[in-house]
Structure 1
């Protein structure tokens, strides 16, 4: 199905560019129109992307067998293999789920960028675009930094200690294999790892932008209902003002229904991704803290661990904060409806308007919550709880390890 927007605006243009960027990275078009790239490029790239996808899948699978083929691994390297293999596997699964749900995402983007523009507020849009750009800059920075840091660490060890360039440890080549072909394979593995990270970050950026957009739609609707009071400030007669107000309330209710439908689409498309990201966050943080206890306290050894932990916390935070803003903004809506000016209506108009406002407020009082896996509520409080739970799990594991050491002696 092909859609044709009636008009263009900054948010529509931004999402069009964003989905084009996602296509260039993942070869998946999430926009409701054909991608605006040369047909020859699209045809060649679609074929090439299958080959690149196969390489990424091979890398993800190969990391699980590294502990059986690689010999003389240090404790840090064993933990590193476990963390990267588990996290790579799960984030790729989450990426695959979103690609599978691309038609739902297309419908959601159409509703957000076209249908909801009937009552759009330019000031709200400017604030939204500023927040989106800030979140995207933060996501891209913290998302790529860990892999880049691992590359710098591997190059540093290769140049200073005569070791091999090692970033991701796969089944092959062996860590002590110093042949030229093995060195080339390690560079290819590193590039494939960067490609995997880029795939995941492109999908994450799309989900986060949609969440921010939905939060600002509730904020926009809040301003819309508050501004309805201005209808009665004009010089028009009372009857015409009441008619305009009644029509405006019906439009607001219609837009509220569309926004709620978009929230349900987001839940349906991304509930597994939200929940999976939380699980990955907890597991990765626990393994990183264990790895930190096993490594030397040098800057070169600690930098990749600290930067990776920061990347995990910030990327998960962007996910959860953007979803939590939807709940926060939705909770303000009943107050705006109550103060929209219904008390200015008289006689039969007052009766009709009060029924409309009552219906709208009852609907708006239902808590709008995005949940991971349909269970974990996403909010600022839940983010703090998730970070604390990661440390709690690490404390239990570390205490058990210490107790086992004491019992041994």
Structure 2
């Protein structure tokens, strides 16, 4: 910070002291100017005339009023204007008492709105100039009267210019602060969306693979003594599911790495091209799954492809958890115009012949996560029990995304 800036900051911190110093300078200028004779033959001559005591009193009062110019600008203008009016009518009009009125008028114009400044400036110019021309001792066309008119106009104009510049600078500062707040809010929103997306991925990965591990581990424990070959096969499936879970968790958690961290994940996000592999893991766990697809040669945006995969994964995991391996599941992927419809049906039933209560009916985060994924892309998701038993998950996803999932930019098909 320069010396000028530091001095400006100190003066700005003590406005009353600054106004007192300004009043002293104005008083010194008025007193000095009252001793000058501008009409001398050799130019301006000092000491030719001496101001009378009334002029000195009026100048002192006018300068003293300027100390309060920031606190009550209109009142100070009225006081200094009245003192100038008295001087122009009763005393020597060449005594520069009107200087204090010009400073007060500048303060009013720089601290109030434009209509107020305009009215105050016109009133001050009209009253002071009119009184000097009509009631003063000098002719109406004297240069002192014209100078009074000019200086009051300059004071009002300069004050309005300063006010306009101050308002312009303030508007720029507010616009910059608003833009900064907007950037911060946008950054926080993106962080929250990314955190929610990662939470959904973690839920889908953990729920799917842990459900498979749980089923296969139960099978292995049941047949360990009587059928060790089948138990060994079940344990192999447990190992494969746990390895897949670790790989997907590593890829998902890898998104939290900093830009300079090593071993950033490079494996692409899963999509419908891995649907056979996904359903194969459920079949190996004993769930009967049938797949119907009528979307040949359909290339989906990455965000839509991932959402479709996760919806099917979560729906089949719910079938595995709530309906059991005795249920039959059917997965269909149908391209209908600009949309892709995903349906997952099962015929699992509870003890009373109806669908099992629990997570699939809104008690957990699975359905909520599916709905968030689908609605984030501009699609719709409907879930609910089927007539006669079972459960239905139906998602409609746009082929062209309108809102991309943060961190997973989509592309137009």
RCO (CA 8 Å, sep 6+): is it higher in 1 or 2? 1
TM-score w.r.t. the length of structure 1 is 0.26
Q: Which has the higher helix share?
A: 1
Q: Which has the higher strand share?
A: 2
Bigger radius of gyration among the two: 2
TM-score w.r.t. the length of structure 2 is 0.26
